Amino acid sequence: MRYSKSFVKTLRSAPKDETARGAQYLARAGYVHKELAGVYDYLPLGLKVLDKIKTIIREELDAIGCQEVLMSTLQNPEPWQKTDRWDIKKMDIWFKTQLAAGGELGLAPTHEEPFTNMMKTYISSYKDLPVYTYQIQTKFRNELRAKSGIMRTREFIMKDLYSFSANMEEHDRFYHKAEIAYQKIYDRLGIGNDTYQTFASGGVFAKYSHEFQTLTDVGEDTIYYNQDKSVVLNEEVLNDEVLAELGVKRSELESAKAAEVGNIFTLKTKYSEPLGLEFTNQNGERQTVVMGCYGIGVSRVMGVIAEKYADEHGLVWPEQIAPYQYYLIGIGNAGTQKAEELYNKHQDVILYDDRDLRPGNKFADAELLGIPYRIVLSDKTLAEGKAELTNRATGESKLVTIEELAF
Amino acid sequence: MRYSKSFVKTLRSAPKDETARGAQYLARAGYVHKELAGVYDYLPLGLKVLDKIKTIIREELDAIGCQEVLMSTLQNPEPWQKTDRWDIKKMDIWFKTQLAAGGELGLAPTHEEPFTNMMKTYISSYKDLPVYTYQIQTKFRNELRAKSGIMRTREFIMKDLYSFSANMEEHDRFYHKAEIAYQKIYDRLGIGNDTYQTFASGGVFAKYSHEFQTLTDVGEDTIYYNQDKSVVLNEEVLNDEVLAELGVKRSELESAKAAEVGNIFTLKTKYSEPLGLEFTNQNGERQTVVMGCYGIGVSRVMGVIAEKYADEHGLVWPEQIAPYQYYLIGIGNAGTQKAEELYNKHQDVILYDDRDLRPGNKFADAELLGIPYRIVLSDKTLAEGKAELTNRATGESKLVTIEELAF
């Protein structure tokens, strides 16, 4: 991308109510634009980050046999009434709306009901199982308070996967595959080393669920961990009964701030039973389908990563999800000419700052935008036949030949 | 794709209220699943068609310098009040909802207001113009009656592009580029020959707008055309004044049923004026930005194409947007073995019907699904070292060598 062609400019200040550092940078660098509290637009660079996150998630889920669909936002009350989640007292984050033709509709805050309901069309025999299906779709939650930029919003992009199995053994096998796929996803997103799978509360139907929590000072949660025993707990399940069961003492646990970046649930028949999702087993008997659900907040993960790695100068994107790998600056006639050449050869990976600005402003924007590597070409570097390559995360600079830049 | 691995099965019947032929096939073939009237889910094959349409649109818009963003669904009333489009009497297709924290929000049925409003952050000088920005996003319209499957729905996927120019000359230049890009898009979607750019009513601010209308018997519109004069009109502007202006007589016009697949509008300052989107010109004077908007209903186009080309056996997708190019059937041991080989080499373009079904059922599903080419490998074809290749659109079959199949 040629920066001079982008309609987005970096801004001196973020919206006043944006308190988290990463959220301020996302607004100032032009990744997002705030519509109202908890509602954001994604500008071209932000959309690129989202797309890279989506691609990583898709690849890992497709690799374990999941099939992608796209479900609707508008929801018929009926299936939600059957599972007792339509009433705002039971699920208080509904946005509801009126159909002009008559009747109430909801904006889906999650999709267990429509997926379960739809599968009644496609699952009738044990031969139809298992089924693993997911979507990457916009969800709506009527949060009383939205905060931390795109980490907790009223409108957000989520990947939600649902598994449909004949029995608990089949379910458990896939649940374990999903755990591994999730860890691969976080590795590829650049947060694998700091992301832990924690025991979380499982609701009525599963004793525990699991969350994936990424260590970060701006996290809303506190996790308790004992690395020797590989035990990591959410605060909500930190009680004597759970500790005894896991064979760990409270004094052996350390705590850390963390942000949830995913969760997986064993649902058993919580939704399939009230909605009547059954199949005929090998003995000709009717059985209820066993379900699991597996979520990753795509825009939330982008927000968590922005917060986690931000420093005093701006954003720092992991290479895997950065909108571009290189931020290119040419200084002087020779530097600019060489920069043009380099950009024309590698447009896909370079954000070329060809704006009519002083180098100092370009250096500042390079840091604010958090592109992993900055390349500077100037009379000075070219005198040695080289370019200056600076790592955004470490700040280290070195002179390298053009050939050494690994495009 | 291996058909045996797909959770979707073809169905004997479509939902009862689905009257259009293409819509019935889309449901029966498993491209879509109906949630409620005018609200659909897209199943894996349907999502593939949508993605191919999106890619074609993106490539042509990016080629004329447009930048992609993603705007929010939830809408603050304020900018819509300023343009007098918040009141349901002025725009009767709003879905509105209540924020738990207090206040009313709307679900965007279109995005002129938020785009115009956002640009106030990024456009301040003539140097910032022109800007062309678009999104591919889900829109919500509270239609009293939904009909024709995914052609007219309450929730749909739309590409909407907005242009911001310094003056009418600059606007007209881009408007013309957009006209050409649209024609390229329809060519690539496989409906170019039957899609006409028509004069439509332009509202208060532009004398005429243009629609793109595709000839099809299931179209909701009637267009009037005179091919010698290259004049094509919508019914709504068929009056003496317009005919005189265009220099054509009513008796010289023929009529045809057509479906709208896109529209482009010159907005002038209709939205920029009430929302205060101004810039400083080269003389230091403040001027109001001139706008245009350019829409294509992505899911609607998919519906129009489904209806237009459907025949008595099922869907017929143009190659460019078909989910797969080949529907592969192996018959007998040798045929199945050869089919496995072929599939393993070309998985991306083949839907391999490896299900344990009789060939007759597979042939019927191949036609219902509308995949452009069917390949049959059997003892009979292999005796000649060949495969049978059948064109879905023409029904023509011929024996070809494996090498002649152009993958």
Radius of gyration of chain A (CA): 24
pLDDT band for position A4 (50/70/90)? very high
Kindly state whether A62 is in contact with chain B, defined as any CB-CB distance less than 8 angstroms.
no
pLDDT at A229 over 70: no
A128 at interface of B, judged by CB pairs closer than 8 A: yes
Distance (Å, rounded) from C-alpha A250 to C-alpha A46?
42
Cross-strand partners of A137: A158
Cα–Cα distances (Å) from B406 to B98, B179, B389, B399, in that order, read 56, 33, 11, 14
Residue pair B372/B393 in contact (Cβ under 8 Å)? The answer is yes
A47 to B70: CB separation less than 8 angstroms, yes or no? yes
Cβ of B36 and A74 within 8 Å? yes
Q: Nearest Cβ partner of A6 from B9, B67, B119?
A: B67
Q: Shortest CB distance from A70 goes to which of B39, B42, B131? A: B42
Tens-place pLDDT, residues A130-144: 999 999 999 999 999
More confident call, A178 vs A145? A178
CB contact under 8 A, A74 and B155: yes
Give the integer Cα–Cα distance in Å for B177 and B326. 35
User: pLDDT tens track of chain B, all 407 residues?
Assistant: 999 999 999 999 999 889 999 999 999 999 999 999 999 999 999 999 999 999 999 999 999 999 999 999 999 999 999 999 999 999 999 999 999 999 999 999 999 999 999 999 999 999 999 999 999 999 999 999 887 799 999 999 999 999 999 999 999 999 999 999 999 999 999 999 999 999 888 765 567 889 999 999 989 999 999 877 678 999 988 988 888 888 888 999 999 999 999 999 999 999 999 999 999 999 999 999 999 999 999 999 999 999 999 999 999 999 999 999 999 999 999 999 999 999 999 999 999 999 999 999 999 999 999 999 999 999 999 999 999 999 999 999 999 998 888 77
Nearest to B131 among A7, A35, A97 (CB): A7
- Residue among B231, B250, B226, B251 at smallest CA distance from B240: B250
pLDDT at A203: 64
Q: Report d(CA A131, CA B44) in Å as an integer.
A: 13
Distance of CA A308 to the CA centre of its chain: 13
* 3 state DSSP class of B128: helix
User: What is the pLDDT confidence band of residue A368, given thresholds at 50, 70 and 90?
Assistant: very high
Q: In chain A, which residue's Cα lies nearest the Cα of B4?
A: A128
CB contact under 8 A, A41 and B69: yes
pLDDT higher than threshold 80 for residue A221: yes
Backbone Cα Rg of chain B = 24
The mean predicted confidence, pLDDT, of chain A is 95
pLDDT tens per residue, range A11-51:
999 998 899 999 999 999 999 999 999 999 999 999 999 99
Q: Which amino acid is at A134?
A: Y
From the number of C-beta atoms within 10 Å of its C-beta (0-12, 13-18, 19+), residue A124 rates as middle
Q: Which residue of B has its CA nearest to A106?
A: B97
What is the least distance, in Å, from the CA of A40 to any CA of chain B? 6
Q: How far apart are CA B67 and CA B51, in angstroms?
A: 18
Closest Cα to residue A295, out of A156, A390, A392, A166? Answer: A156
Q: Which residues on B lie below 8 Å from A15 (Cβ)?
A: none
Nearest-by-Cβ selection for B133 from A7, A101, A118 = A7
Min distance A165 CA to chain B CA atoms (Å)? 12
pLDDT at residue A242, as a whole number: 86
B121/A65 Cβ within 8 A: no
ipTM score for this prediction: 0.96
Closest CA of chain B from A76, distance in Å: 7
A367: pLDDT strictly greater than 70:
yes
Contacts of B114 in chain A (CB under 8 A): 35, 41
Mean pLDDT of A160-169: 98
The reported pLDDT for the residue numbered A146 is: 83
User: Would you state the pLDDT for residue A205?
Assistant: 59
Segment A296-318, tens digit of pLDDT: 999 999 999 999 999 999 999 99
| Contact criterion met (CB < 8 Å) for B33 and A118 | yes
Cβ-contact A183, A217 below 8 angstroms? no
- A7 to B67: CB separation less than 8 angstroms, yes or no: yes
Q: Which residues share a beta bridge with B134?
A: B68, B161
Token pair recorded at residue B264: 């482009």
Interface of B with A in 358-377 (CB under 8 A): none
Which pTM was predicted?
0.97
Q: Minimal CA–CA distance to A316: which of A191, A183, A153?
A: A191
Chain B contact for A131 (CB, 8 A cutoff): yes
Find chain A residues with C-beta within 8 A of B357's C-beta: none
- Flag whether residue A89 sits within 8 Å of chain B, measured between CB atoms: no
Q: Which of A33, A122, A133 sits opposite B121 (nearest CB)?
A: A33
Which residue has 């019914």 as its token pair? B235
A chain contacts of residue B75, beta-carbon cutoff 8 Å:
35
Under 8 Å between Cβ of A135 and A70: yes
> Are A70 and B36 a contacting pair at CB < 8 A?
no
* Confidence check: pLDDT of A121 > 90: yes
Tell me A235's DSSP state.
Answer: G
**Contact of A11 with B118, CB cutoff 8 Å:** no
Q: How many residue contacts between A and B have a Cβ separation below 8 Å?
A: 138
Determine whether the interchain pair A101/B145 forms a contact, defined as Cβ–Cβ distance below 8 Å.
yes
Domains of chain A: 3-309 (3.30.930.10), 324-404 (3.40.50.800)
Q: How many CB atoms lie within 10 A of CB A249?
A: 9
Q: Which chain A residues are closer than 8 Å to B144 by Cβ?
A: 100-101
Contact B7 A122 (CB under 8 A): yes
Among B47, B71, B98, the residue with its CB nearest the CB of A69 is: B47
Say which residues have a Cβ less than 8 Å from residue A351's Cβ, sequence separation at least 6.
A1, A3, A323, A324, A326, A327, A328, A369, A371
Q: Do A145 and B101 touch (CB under 8 A)?
A: yes
Phi-psi region of B332 (alpha: psi -120 to 50; beta: other; left: phi over 0): left
| List of chain A residues whose C-beta atoms are within 8 Å of the C-beta of residue B36 | 74, 76, 105
**Contacts with B, A 25-54, CB within 8 Å:** 33, 35-37, 39-44, 46-47, 50
Q: With 60 as the cut, is the pLDDT of residue A127 above it? A: yes
Most B-contacting residue of A95, A289, A347 (CB-CB within 10 A), to test interface: A95
Average pLDDT over residues A174-182: 98
pLDDT at A145: 87
> Which residue spans within A208-367 are E strands per DSSP?
208-215, 221-226, 231-234, 254-268, 278-280, 286-288, 290-297, 326-330, 350-352
Q: What DSSP line would sit under A1-28, residue for residue?
A: -BGGG-S----S---TT--SHHHHHHHH
Which residues in chain B have their CB less than 8 angstroms from residue A47's CB? 68-70
Q: What percent of chain A has pLDDT over 90?
A: 87
Taking the Cβ of residue A357 and every Cβ of chain B, the question of whether any pair is shorter than 8 Å is answered with: no
